Amino acid sequence: MSTEIKSLNEECGIFGVWGHQDAARVTYFGLHNLQHRGQEGAGIVSNEEGQLHGYRGLGLLSEVFANEKRLSKLYGNAAIGHVRYATSGNGHVDNIQPFLFRFFDSQVSLAHNGNLTNAKTLRRELEEQGAIFHSSSDTEILMHLIRKSNAPTFLDRLKESLNIVKGGFAYILMTESAMYAALDPNGFRPLSIGQMKNGSYVIASETCALEAIGASFVCDVQPGEVVVIDDNGLKIDTYTTETQHSICSMEYIYFARPDSNIAGVNVHTARKNMGRTLAKEAPIEADMVIGVPNSSLSAASGYAEFSGIPYELGLVKNQYVARTFIQPTQELREQGVRMKLSAVRGVVEGKKVILVDDSIVRGTTSQRIVQLLKEAGAKEVHLRIASPPLKFPCFYGIDIKTRKELIAADLSIEEMNERFGSDSLAFLSEEGLISSIGLKFDAPYSGLCMAYFNGDYPTPLYDYEKKYRASLKENKVNL
Amino acid sequence: MSTEIKSLNEECGIFGVWGHQDAARVTYFGLHNLQHRGQEGAGIVSNEEGQLHGYRGLGLLSEVFANEKRLSKLYGNAAIGHVRYATSGNGHVDNIQPFLFRFFDSQVSLAHNGNLTNAKTLRRELEEQGAIFHSSSDTEILMHLIRKSNAPTFLDRLKESLNIVKGGFAYILMTESAMYAALDPNGFRPLSIGQMKNGSYVIASETCALEAIGASFVCDVQPGEVVVIDDNGLKIDTYTTETQHSICSMEYIYFARPDSNIAGVNVHTARKNMGRTLAKEAPIEADMVIGVPNSSLSAASGYAEFSGIPYELGLVKNQYVARTFIQPTQELREQGVRMKLSAVRGVVEGKKVILVDDSIVRGTTSQRIVQLLKEAGAKEVHLRIASPPLKFPCFYGIDIKTRKELIAADLSIEEMNERFGSDSLAFLSEEGLISSIGLKFDAPYSGLCMAYFNGDYPTPLYDYEKKYRASLKENKVNL
Amino acid sequence: MSTEIKSLNEECGIFGVWGHQDAARVTYFGLHNLQHRGQEGAGIVSNEEGQLHGYRGLGLLSEVFANEKRLSKLYGNAAIGHVRYATSGNGHVDNIQPFLFRFFDSQVSLAHNGNLTNAKTLRRELEEQGAIFHSSSDTEILMHLIRKSNAPTFLDRLKESLNIVKGGFAYILMTESAMYAALDPNGFRPLSIGQMKNGSYVIASETCALEAIGASFVCDVQPGEVVVIDDNGLKIDTYTTETQHSICSMEYIYFARPDSNIAGVNVHTARKNMGRTLAKEAPIEADMVIGVPNSSLSAASGYAEFSGIPYELGLVKNQYVARTFIQPTQELREQGVRMKLSAVRGVVEGKKVILVDDSIVRGTTSQRIVQLLKEAGAKEVHLRIASPPLKFPCFYGIDIKTRKELIAADLSIEEMNERFGSDSLAFLSEEGLISSIGLKFDAPYSGLCMAYFNGDYPTPLYDYEKKYRASLKENKVNL
Amino acid sequence: MSTEIKSLNEECGIFGVWGHQDAARVTYFGLHNLQHRGQEGAGIVSNEEGQLHGYRGLGLLSEVFANEKRLSKLYGNAAIGHVRYATSGNGHVDNIQPFLFRFFDSQVSLAHNGNLTNAKTLRRELEEQGAIFHSSSDTEILMHLIRKSNAPTFLDRLKESLNIVKGGFAYILMTESAMYAALDPNGFRPLSIGQMKNGSYVIASETCALEAIGASFVCDVQPGEVVVIDDNGLKIDTYTTETQHSICSMEYIYFARPDSNIAGVNVHTARKNMGRTLAKEAPIEADMVIGVPNSSLSAASGYAEFSGIPYELGLVKNQYVARTFIQPTQELREQGVRMKLSAVRGVVEGKKVILVDDSIVRGTTSQRIVQLLKEAGAKEVHLRIASPPLKFPCFYGIDIKTRKELIAADLSIEEMNERFGSDSLAFLSEEGLISSIGLKFDAPYSGLCMAYFNGDYPTPLYDYEKKYRASLKENKVNL
């Protein structure tokens, strides 16, 4: 959740509701609980008796809709929304979703979470046929495919198109008369269906958004499914039967909110189990267990509980840091000025500390926190990571596209321990991760995608294949 | 720390540094870690070779100084700063501190944390002598007293004036040639001295601000002391010897950051002890212990540790909520739409829950959280409050001026339990609180102010006396 | 120029420069002098060695680029820009130009001033072939036509496409390697070429933008021409020879800045001549001549000069009014509170006044001003309009699409005089207008479009034909 | 009016209304027409049945009250307001008026236009008696004097205080029960009384503000008068009888709006007369007369009318320039890029031009405009200034405090002509100015202050005397 601290970013949250008189407002509150999935832009499109209205902008949801009029003008009984993490810092509003397309014969709005692996190829093919793209995102591709299709109904055209795009995707679409949701054949990204007290159906990237609006959980969208919600209710269809669960394990480890359930497993509970398993796999004597706030607190408390070592508040995160643009100068930084995290001297001074973190990407944060604790007087700092080493990029919707960004792709555990200045370092095993989450799907790794850890990608990589193979050679990796 | 959730507000944080080339920037980072003490306005005054420059505004520190030029124009080797909680929502920039006074013969800047009990009387006397006040705050009074004084030096005039004002106060002043800090004779509010790596002295409301800038702790300012810092270093003087420690117990319970030490006691540790003592005093069988984020997490983990019942994440606070102006309509609220806190259904469903909160003011939050947990399926919710019932107002710097705002002033514990819908309710005892904090001063309650709990005010109430006595009669309180 | 007062709006200004190291900045200053042609949005796209960069936003140019970084990041030696008047109040950034298209094989940016008469038909045809439009503007159509074309070069494809679109248009396009400008076969909208001191060629909607950047006038773009500017210099080509001048007469009457020349005729001089001719055609005895600020001042001084009646400042326009959102309540309005225009009592009281206005659209402004003058004590107000009555809509780029908006389509001159409360009312004749401007083209009306006055449209109306014919019947107009 | 072009600044506009249900809104619209007197800050204080409420901020009136709530919260039946020109660019909100003072026994609000000549002395005396000032403006002094006074009523105390302050001042004050206005004994600054249709009295710096709100003119406040307006109506009193009119001649020449009347003389008419007199005093043959927009247009039309030479629009001012922060680089400036003013090539090319300007301060603008016209092809430019040369500073409320800022204090007319590059240069004579305005007071210069032209200050200079005498010696001026 703490995207300010770690350089690991989810690429979006999506939400939709059909049949509620306050649809745009419901969508606002749903997106509000998905804000951790993307902070660089947000948008909502509503449906007022077949007429679609939209507003989107750069910034947090509350900034985009700071002026209440922006929201109250989105009339209608249905709405879909999106929060976006923009991969380039220089975010352009052109890429903010949901997209809204107005044709002479229809209107369609579209929101997307994920990453297509054959986007470059498809885009080129479409452009060669005369298509014009306005954004640099993958998302427009689906709209072009739907418009190119000659299938009889919108649903048919959508299903045909979903068989052409590859990779990780959760889509929500809205036309004049219905809302559609679809998940890729591997189910990389989470997507759940809920129902409000008045009977309205909602779709959301995480179940925490259902809770936020008082909706009860109905079911998860399954790989290969396309869901249709209209005034007649909910209908679940499939666009392919060649499916196999490969749920993104990083959702459990880091991205999802602890109060969400994914595939029926509560995220906090999964993380606490990871901490417990880690305590079993990599025990050490110490005075206390502390977690990196906020994403590692569940795992840390699990470690503490299993080991019987007290769980303490050894690090405090400044809750007001989010939008501070004034930074310490290099000189002040050398004098110890820092803004986001503080070590609690009164707690750690003279103590042996077990520091639990959820994962390590570049390693710069880990190094800084170990140093913080030592400066605050910690006698020893034993670093325990509640996930296996991240060694391989993700092509299904997480913003790590090259191995260069991953310290564990380069260094051994001993080398990392030395670089961080910690007194010992251990990671959770792959088996430990799988058992801690406890999925039961009849699929490799019980239904988890473990590719970041072991390079075992559950699909072909298409456009990324060549570059990825080359990067492996560079790093002399033997798979 | 979570001022958004509880209607209990600290009235300021102050900071000062003398002898650092980046003084304004150091002050910025110091104030940044004091932001929890006041979010409605901030300001910094710097001293450039005897010339004082200032900037202040409404909003969070990072908003007031959003334009880096505002900060970089505050040249000089010394600076003082202030973060303010404004008692009236319609905050006026006139009241934002530090105040900066330019006289024909000198310049003085002034920052204040606390509340004077004889402000109304003094202000009237001064106005009758022709004084003009620009703000509605107490703070200007000290400046008028200093200017009225005929004592020979600024320090003498300051000491004379400090003997006239009554109540709770921590002041930082800056003139062309020195910085001064002073604490009231009871030491209600915390105030600490630190030293940076380059030797510069700093003063701060809490030690967490020292940590933030890499300063080491030197000592606390003691009741009745006035500290002078100038190019010759640090000198500690006293303006009165009639002193007795009455440290605000609410600083330990709720206000201060857990990484601060007050009178040598770490706040997190004190809170964890309160939780442990509460577990001893009011045990109950249950499946899990959960705390109200963020201020009650220390107490909750203490309760869990002592009781051996697992500590779980049963409530999640939305980290993006701070500045959201769009609120659910009444109808959406009835449908269960909520924004700040979510109960974790996957954790609490079907479980007996011990809910630990740090304190109860109006009781509306407690009622709401119990309801949240029940709606998320908790079978039982046992509410445990890690402090005694708040029954009396504070006149020394916390924003509770009347008994009407305090539910425990009206209702018995049974009545509160019924109102909240909890399955049982217990508070920490006064003795339990005192022993958990563990101060050793030779003073009533070991040096704590317990007036909010028992009405035993350590000083006369001056301007507030009459109204307070009347309020007791209304409530039929027998002291 | 005073678009705040009259409900008559131009639909854009365009600008481009090739071969200047500060291209984006030059474009900024050029657009600055075209701001009167559109105030609802602005944008600039630059060309940095074949890589196009763009920024656009809602608001005045100076608001869109309030942050200088926005401009300074638009690197490169060429740039095109656009200021836009949005026909719908609820302006969307999607419609702000220049558009920037990034294809796998090329990049193209596009800016447009005008209105296509066959846009609806073309858009439908394109959508039926699978095209997707993002904006509601006509402008994207040209891009789709270019991409559909199979002609060998970009210039060929552009020329082919220019023969498909109909109506009024001035386009500027930029690719990696060249800048293109094109004008419709009737030359409805102005478009001029200039040259900077360093040799760089510039294109602008009006010559006042050339003056603003110190460029000298080279020539006007002629109907049916397409201009290519690249590193080899300027080349003028044609895409059609079926051309005939029909320059928008409203550019002379109202839209263009008085310091611009259109087809070699200075706009101020033309307006002054209209005033002189009006004085000849519709003389009246009076104490003074006053003009409606600012657009009618030239005509008023011409009337004064010819008639020998003194020209006075009888109306003052508040120069700070542009962005005031607080408006008088109905009650205050009845008490005489007003914001934009004041009558000068000290000048007009007790006097016979000739009030010169450039044109009448809805008539509400005329009525208000006559009333203002009478309330300020004017004995008589004789209204003289320096153009013929506006009776017919424009389909070539001015925002009057229906006859309902035009008071002169409904009422006779006597009826209007009565409604306005003026003591007499006269309009310039059509012949008077034509001779005052003094064009010499071998074309109907010497090369002017007079359709707004007499319904004699110089082209077929395509998509608008049917609706327009119906509106004529409704109004019982005999042409 | 065109304060962007000339470096000559008025120091404020003031307004008040008593007895109108929409008092704050009326004040807003009144101030709106006084905006030309000060653009750096604005404020309004209202009176809701004896309770004063205020809001003030930096920027234009419409920016300060951009949020309509700011205005609608200023409840009450009376209000006073202020627009301010801040002498230091780094404007501080502390100096924005009206000031609002809340005492234990009363509330007072205060707005001021003018400059005190004994402010420094009074402030020092007051500070020595213990007074504390918050702003750097003169305005607080009056409040201190009132509070120090022992006279029996507020009016008595005000009158006593008005006899202590010296210089140029127009004050509006408001207490719980009345509104007061006062003018200095020389009547330097304009101040008029009006009455709204519902009977409410209003006070305003200029009569154009009365027109704006539909109020009729009642009378001017006379030198030495203090006006009291309360629920019983209007009462005019005097605080001194030692009075003599010295109305600021620059109000007629440059500052006031042309639609205002000062001492019964319409400002446009006065300016037109100045132009006529100038044509008589300094005739020259030429093709056209042009004026510098906007403040010199009246004088230019007067010159044209008297001389019989046509009045033309040879210069155009960009109406969108006000808040543009992006400026041409030095290089672009050399290439001729400019933003505020354009010469109309189509009008002036090859012509002999008479350029009329209202006044010359530093001379940089005159030089620039002459150059602009020559670059646009003007054959000759004859500069005619419709006021005498400005040679001496003003101490009564105009922001020219030293002779260094005045080119005519240093250079002869021939030297200026050479520097400007004009073909001839002439100024209006002092006698010509006096007769053109046509006041009839029995006082030196018929009641005008002519000190800027001849150094004949109508009052002692107090605090400024010494420095002023020294500056004369430096410049070797013989008076």
| Cα–Cα separations (whole angstroms), residue A14 to A33, A39, A71, C94, C133 | 11, 13, 17, 22, 23
> Which SS3 state, helix, strand or coil, does residue C356 take?
strand
Half-sphere exposure of C172 (CA within 13 A, CB side): 34
Structure tokens at A93: 């509003």
- With a cut of 70, say whether residue B2 has pLDDT above it: no
Q: What percent of chain B has pLDDT over 70?
A: 94
Among A327, A335, A358, A373, most B C-beta atoms within 10 A, so best to mutate, is: A335
pLDDT given for residue A135 in this prediction: 80
What's the average model confidence in pLDDT over A41-62?
93
Burial of C180 (0-12, 13-18, 19+ CB in 10 A): buried
Reported as a pLDDT band with limits 50, 70 and 90, residue A203 is: very high
Lowest mean pLDDT segment, chosen from A34-38, A182-186, A341-345, B1-5: B1-5
Residue A424 pLDDT > 50, yes or no?
A: yes
Residue D1 has pLDDT above 60, yes or no: no
Residue D477, pLDDT > 50, answer yes
pLDDT at D5: 44
The β-bridge partners of C418 are none
| Token code pair at residue B83 | 């973060």
A61-75, B283-297, D182-196, D382-396: least confidently modelled range: A61-75
**pLDDT tops 70 at residue C1:** no
- Span of B20-34, B294-308, C331-345 with lowest mean pLDDT: C331-345
- Mean pLDDT across chain C, nearest whole number? 92
Within 8 A by CB and 6+ apart from A121, the residues are A462, A463
The alpha carbon of D62 is separated from its chain's Cα centroid by a whole number of angstroms, namely 20
The CA distance from A166 to the nearest CA of chain B, in Å, is 32
Average pLDDT score, chain D: 92
What pLDDT band is residue D91 in, cutting at 50, 70 and 90?
A: low
In the prediction, which pLDDT does B1 show? Answer: 32
Which residues, including other chains, have CB under 8 Å from residue A294's CB and lie 6 or more apart? A1, A2, A317, B319
D143 interface with B at CB cutoff 8 Å: yes
- Ligand-binding site membership of D358 (annotated): yes
Q: What is residue B139's DSSP assignment?
A: T
- Partners of C93 on chain A (C-beta within 8 Å) are 93
Q: How many CB pairs under 8 A join A and C?
A: 56
B154 with B221: CB under 8 angstroms? no
Distance (Å) from the alpha carbon of B305 to chain A's nearest alpha carbon: 7
Inter-chain CB proximity D266 and C337 less than 8 Å: no
C324 has a pLDDT exceeding 60: no
Mutate to test the interface with A, among C90, C134, C148, C149 (most CBs of A within 10 A): C134
Q: Which residue of D has its CA nearest to B129?
A: D148
Answer yes or no: do B132 and D148 touch at CB < 8 A: no
Is the pLDDT confidence value at D69 over 90? no
Percentage of the residues of chain C whose pLDDT score is greater than 70 = 94
Percent of the residues in chain D that have a pLDDT greater than 70, as a whole number: 94
- Residue A8's pLDDT band, with cuts at 50, 70 and 90, is low
- 3-state DSSP call for residue B374? helix
Task: Write down the pLDDT at residue C9.
Answer: 62
Summarize the confidence of residues C291-303 as an average pLDDT: 94
In the predicted structure, residue C323 carries a pLDDT above the cut 60: no
**What pTM did the predictor assign?**
0.88
Q: What H or E segment, with its residue span, contains residue C306?
A: helix C297-307
For the record, the structure tokens of D97 come out as: 């008026």
pLDDT confidence band for B68 (50 / 70 / 90): confident
Q: How far is B452 from chain D (nearest CA, A)?
A: 30
CA B155 vs CA B229, B236, C16: distances in Å? 12, 12, 68
Question: What pLDDT is recorded for position C120?
Answer: 94
CB contact under 8 A, D320 and C60: yes
C107-137, pLDDT tens digit by residue?
A: 999 999 999 999 999 999 999 999 999 887 7
User: Stretch D425-437: mean pLDDT, rounded?
Assistant: 98
Q: What is the DSSP letter of C464?
A: G
- Which residues 6+ apart lie within 8 Å of D213 measured at CB? C332, C335, C336, C337, D26, D29, D30, D194, D196, D202
Q: Which residues of C touch A140 (CB under 8 A)?
A: 132
The beta-carbon neighbor of B127 closest among D103, D131, D133 is D103
Token representation of residue D52: 């004063």
Is pLDDT at B181 greater than 90 in this prediction?
yes
Is the Cβ of C17 closer than 8 Å to some Cβ of chain D?
A: no
Is the backbone peptide bond immediately before A294 cis, with ω within 30 degrees of 0? yes
Contact across the interface for D147 and B130, Cβ inside 8 Å: yes
Chain C CB within 8 Å of residue A105 CB: yes
- Cα-trace Rg, chain B: 23
pLDDT at B90: 44
Structure tokens at C74: 């638009």
Q: With a CB-CB cutoff of 8 Å, which residues 380-409 of chain B face chain A?
A: none
* Closest chain C residue by Cα to residue A101: C134
User: B177 labelled as ligand-binding?
Assistant: no
pLDDT digits (tens, 9 = 90+) for A299-320: 999 999 999 999 999 999 887 7
User: Is A358 labeled as ligand-binding?
Assistant: yes
Q: Is D51 near chain B, with CB under 8 Å?
A: no
What would the pLDDT profile of C130-170 be if each residue is shown by its tens digit? 999 988 778 899 999 999 999 999 999 999 999 999 999 99
How far is the C-alpha of D10 from the C-alpha of D82, rounded, in Å?
Answer: 13
pLDDT of residue D7: 53
C/B touch flag: 3 or more CB pairs below 8 Å: no
Which chains does chain D touch, 3 or more C-beta pairs < 8 A? B, C
Q: What is the mean pLDDT of residues D406-417?
A: 95
C222, pLDDT greater than 90: yes
pLDDT grade, residue B89 (50/70/90)? very low
pLDDT band at A3 (very low <50, low <70, confident <90, very high): very low
CB contact under 8 A, D331 and C22: yes
pLDDT > 60? residue B88: no
Enter the tokens of residue C78.
């060429």
- D242-277: per-residue pLDDT in tens? 999 999 999 999 999 999 999 999 999 999 999 999
Whether C77 contacts C70, CB under 8 Å: no
Question: Does D90 have pLDDT greater than 50?
Answer: no
Sign, CA dihedral C182-C186-C188-C194, equals positive
pLDDT tens for B215-273 read 999 999 999 999 999 999 999 999 999 999 999 999 999 999 999 999 999 999 999 99
Q: Which two tokens stand for residue A420?
A: 């961080």
Q: Is C4 a residue whose pLDDT tops 80?
A: no
A66–chain B nearest CA distance, Å: 7
Q: Is the pLDDT of residue A4 over 90?
A: no
- A332 reaches B (C-beta below 8 A): yes
D130 → closest Cβ in B101, B134, B147: B147
Q: Which of B101, B120, B129 sits opposite D132 (nearest CB)?
A: B101
| Listed range (A4-8, A430-434, C43-47, C458-462) with the worst mean pLDDT | A4-8
Identify whether D449 is a catalytic site residue: no
Neighbours of chain C (3+ CB pairs under 8 A): A, D
Lowest mean pLDDT among B398-407, C365-374, C423-432: B398-407
- The yes-or-no verdict on residue D324 having pLDDT over 70 is no
Partnered with residue C117 across adjacent β-strands are: none
Q: Do chains B and D touch (3 or more CB pairs under 8 A)?
A: yes
**Interface with chain C: mutation pick from A51, A70, A96, A132, highest number of C CBs within 10 Å:** A132
Complex confidence, ipTM: 0.89
CA C360 and chain centroid, separation: 16
SS3 C123: helix
| Confidence at A439, pLDDT banded by 50, 70, 90 | very high
Distance CA(B153)–CA(D393), nearest Å, equals 41
**B123 closest CB neighbour out of D104, D128, D147:** D104
